[in-house]
A and B are shown apart, each in its own frame.
Chain A
């Protein structure tokens, strides 16, 4: 089975801090994604990567950046955390090559105070 692991289940940070959310997948998937989940809004795509060092903006990239230095690892960075970034963050991966099935991690609940 594909395993997508997110480094933290819960995280509490202060406004203005730089925050790193880490994600690792173990099935050699080409594509990796960061979503944000908020009640009543579903899942919204922040950034995705289709190859090492390649990244593309999703629908809500403002205030975020990403890094993919190795195929298995995809990091989400909040340069200066703000209270409106309090949310559940979900990492996902997909095989690629026309296979769009997403495999999700368990999520990181981030609270910015």
Chain B
């Protein structure tokens, strides 16, 4: 069935460094790739998303890249801050579909 693999499961960086989280998906029909951030005690919140007709998207310190041929997409956080510490989930779905398939999550620690 559809699957999204996410790496690494844990990531520790120094404040100010960059962090990269990578995902691969299996369903060729997927065309929507959101990223969610989950802080302690809260539900996941959408932070950025990308559609398959776009290769890269940026929003301030975060960016996503998509390689549709290789079925890879990545989240890049630059100039990390302690408040970036959270669990990040990548996901894949398709327009008009109801099933969003999530990766297992990456716990990011940003050390001050």
Q: Which residues of A contact B (CB under 8 A)?
A: 4, 31, 33, 40-45, 48, 50, 56, 58-59, 90, 92, 98, 100-107
Query: B residues engaging A (CB < 8 A)?
Result: 1, 4, 6, 9, 32, 34, 36, 41-46, 49, 89, 93, 95-100, 102-105
B98 close to A106 (CB less than 8 A): no
Residues on the B chain within 8 Å of A90, using CB: 43-44
Contact of B100 among A40, A56, A100, A105 (CB under 8 A): A100
Q: Among the listed A31, A44, A101, which residue makes an inter-chain contact with B98, where contact means beta carbons less than 8 Å apart?
A: A31
B residues in contact with A56, CB < 8 Å: 98
Q: Enumerate 19 A-B pairs (CB-CB under 8 Å) in ascending A order.
A: A40-B104, A42-B89, A42-B103, A42-B104, A48-B99, A56-B98, A59-B99, A90-B43, A92-B43, A98-B95, A100-B93, A101-B46, A104-B36, A104-B44, A106-B41, A106-B42, A106-B43, A107-B42, A107-B43
Write the nearest CB–CB distance from B4 to chain A, whole angstroms: 8
Give the CA-CA distance A15 to B100 in the complex, in Å: 30
Cα–Cα distance between A45 and B92 once the two chains are bound (Å): 13
**What's the nearest-Cβ distance from chain A to residue B13, in Å?**
21
Contact A104 B43 (CB under 8 A): yes
Per the bound structure, the CA–CA distance linking A59 and B102 in Å amounts to 12
Determine the distance from Cα of A45 to Cα of B42 in the docked complex, in whole angstroms: 18
Bound state CA distance, A43 and B83, in angstroms? 23
* Residues of B with C-beta under 8 A to A41: 104
CB distance from A100 to the nearest CB of B (A): 5
Residue of A nearest to B103 (CB): A42
